[in-house]
């Protein structure tokens, strides 16, 4: 099978700066114009039959891509299996709900607070549990995700099962109106956040944290021997991932204007993890593709509404059997920060 990922990487490597900038601008423009895709006849196949296409682009597509990128730092980059990522999404959402209800802060002011809250939760969960290995971490994070949901469900001040309603939408910013009629504004905000995360992850990857994460992912014991302070970098990875989940939660809450415990089930964690693994763990573009496909597909095939989850499950099984490393896997061997085209593919691991 053709290795699309390496083909793409090779072309990118050969380009000069102007070509790269031009490509990035065109790509961002195309993606930015996606919400209008449903209007033209030649792109009308994009339309989702039941829900509004513009709304689908924000949630689940945009949100899932954003969260998958966040989870990718934890699972793909550092190899820490997190099965409770939805907890951070929920913490962001509930922060937006509470602050929106009891204070006069607007969404942009709440956003950093929500991220900080998720980050604090990430550190609090990470400090004791990141010492554990592999599957124990998986089960503890899974438990944490459920605990957050159950606490929200059973706490009256968090609205119990009805949740928090009438969360304020963001104020008019740069001429963009944010309300139920204007999904596009949210889409562009999410797009900007995704771009920021991509930029951040790419920076991290070639710098010390990225190298430390890679070392931890490949072999923890060796990483310790090489003097990598693994707990510190694991907690960084965990809390950065958490902050991104929190940011997604804040935007989600201000978009739907409503948060309730049943939005934050274990299934969401599984779906986001599926996006990461399905697309190609550790590779940003793969993860984005995975997020787009897995979030968009169930909406697009709503016409078979009853069987769409079934088709979704089948897709997961089939694709994982055909391409176990995901659709766009990471390079087998990463020469971090070194442009070395002579590295033979598939020669190790």
| Crossing angle (nearest 10°) for helices 107-129 and 134-154 | 130
Closest C-alpha among 187, 212, 216, 242 to residue 336:
212
348 binds other proteins (CB under 8 A): no
Compare residues 131 and 207 and give the one whose CB is closer to other proteins. Answer: 131
For residue 219, the minimal CB distance to other proteins (Å) is 8
136 binds other proteins (CB under 8 A): yes
Compare residues 171 and 313 and give the one whose CB is closer to other proteins. Answer: 313
The rounded distance, in Å, linking the Cα atoms of 146 and 151 is 8
Token pair in block for residue 178: 């944010």
306 binds other proteins (CB under 8 A): yes
Q: Tell me which of 89, 204, 278, 296 binds other proteins, using CB under 8 A.
A: 278
Closest C-alpha among 167, 164, 197, 170 to residue 186:
170
The rounded distance, in Å, linking the Cα atoms of 234 and 82 is 12
For residue 297, the minimal CB distance to other proteins (Å) is 13
Place of tokens 């310790």: 224
46 binds other proteins (CB under 8 A): no
301 binds other proteins (CB under 8 A): no
Asked if 293 and 279 count as a contact pair (C-beta separation under 8 A), the reply is yes
DSSP 192-245: HHHHHHHHHHHHHHTSHHHHHHHHHHH-HHHHHHTT--HHHHHHHHHHHHHHHH
Compare residues 61 and 142 and give the one whose CB is closer to other proteins. Answer: 142
135 binds other proteins (CB under 8 A): yes
Q: Tell me which of 56, 118, 274, 289 binds other proteins, using CB under 8 A.
A: 274
80 binds other proteins (CB under 8 A): yes
Token pair in block for residue 28: 């961002």
Compare residues 142 and 242 and give the one whose CB is closer to other proteins. Answer: 142
Sketch the per residue contact string, 101 through 130, with other proteins: x for CB under 8 A, - otherwise: ---------------------------xx-
Token pair in block for residue 108: 């942009």
Compare residues 9 and 81 and give the one whose CB is closer to other proteins. Answer: 81
Q: Tell me which of 180, 297, 310, 343 binds other proteins, using CB under 8 A.
A: 310
- Chain residues 240-269 in contact with other proteins, contact rule CB under 8 A: 266
Q: Tell me which of 75, 167, 253, 295 binds other proteins, using CB under 8 A.
A: 75
Sign of CA dihedral 41, 43, 46, 47: negative
Number of residues that bind other proteins (CB under 8 A): 49
Q: Tell me which of 106, 123, 143, 257 binds other proteins, using CB under 8 A.
A: 143
Compare residues 71 and 111 and give the one whose CB is closer to other proteins. Answer: 71
For residue 19, the minimal CB distance to other proteins (Å) is 34
Helix, strand, coil percentages for the chain (3-state, nearest 5) = 75, 0, 25
Q: Tell me which of 188, 258, 285, 312 binds other proteins, using CB under 8 A.
A: 312
Question: In DSSP terms, which residues pair with 165 in a beta bridge?
Answer: 258
Who contacts 331 (Cβ-Cβ below 8 Å, separation ≥6)?
A: 5, 6, 9, 283, 345
Q: What stretches of the chain adopt beta strand conformation (E)?
A: 164-165, 258-259
231 binds other proteins (CB under 8 A): no
Compare residues 131 and 335 and give the one whose CB is closer to other proteins. Answer: 131
Closest C-alpha among 216, 239, 240 to residue 226:
216
152 binds other proteins (CB under 8 A): no
- Applying CB under 8 A, which residues contact other proteins? 75, 79-81, 128-129, 131-136, 138-140, 142-144, 146-147, 150-151, 153-154, 217, 220-221, 266, 270, 273-274, 277-278, 281, 306-307, 309-310, 312-317, 320-321, 324-326
């Amino acid at each position: 099978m053709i290795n699309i990922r390496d083909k793409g990487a090779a072309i990118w490597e050969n380009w000069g700066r102007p070509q790269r900038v031009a490509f990035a601008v065109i790509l961002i423009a195309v993606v930015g114009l996606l919400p209008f895709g449903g209007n033209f006849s030649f792109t009308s196949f994009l339309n989702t039959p039941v829900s509004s296409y513009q709304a689908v682009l924000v949630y689940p597509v945009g949100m899932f891509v954003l969260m998958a990128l966040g989870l990718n730092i934890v699972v793909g980059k550092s190899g820490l299996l997190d099965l409770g990522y939805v907890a951070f999404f929920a913490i962001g959402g509930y922060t937006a709900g509470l602050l929106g209800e009891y204070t006069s802060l607007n969404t942009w002011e709440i956003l950093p607070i929500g991220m900080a809250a998720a980050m604090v939760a990430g550190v609090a969960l990470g400090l004791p549990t990141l010492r554990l290995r592999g599957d124990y971490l998986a089960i503890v994070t899974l438990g944490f995700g459920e605990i957050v949901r159950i606490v929200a469900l059973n706490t009256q001040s968090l609205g119990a099962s009805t949740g928090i309603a009438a969360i304020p939408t963001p104020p008019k910013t740069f001429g963009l109106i944010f309300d139920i009629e204007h999904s596009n504004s949210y889409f562009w905000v999410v797009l900007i956040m995704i771009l920021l995360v991509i930029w951040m992850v790419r920076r991290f990857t070639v710098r010390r944290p990225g190298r430390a994460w890679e070392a931890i992912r490949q072999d923890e014991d060796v990483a310790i021997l090489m003097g990598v302070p693994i707990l510190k970098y694991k907690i960084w990875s965990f809390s950065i991932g958490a902050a991104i989940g929190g940011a997604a939660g804040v935007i989600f809450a201000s978009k739907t204007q409503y948060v309730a415990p049943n939005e934050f089930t274990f299934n969401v964690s599984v779906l986001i993890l599926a996006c990461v693994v399905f697309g190609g763990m550790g590779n940003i573009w793969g993860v984005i593709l995975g997020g787009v496909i897995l979030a968009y597909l169930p909406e697009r095939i709503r016409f078979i509404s009853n069987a769409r989850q079934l088709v979704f499950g089948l897709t997961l099984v089939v694709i994982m059997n055909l391409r176990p490393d995901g659709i766009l896997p990471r390079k087998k061997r990463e020469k971090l920060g070194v442009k070395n085209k002579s590295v033979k593919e598939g020669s190790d691991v």
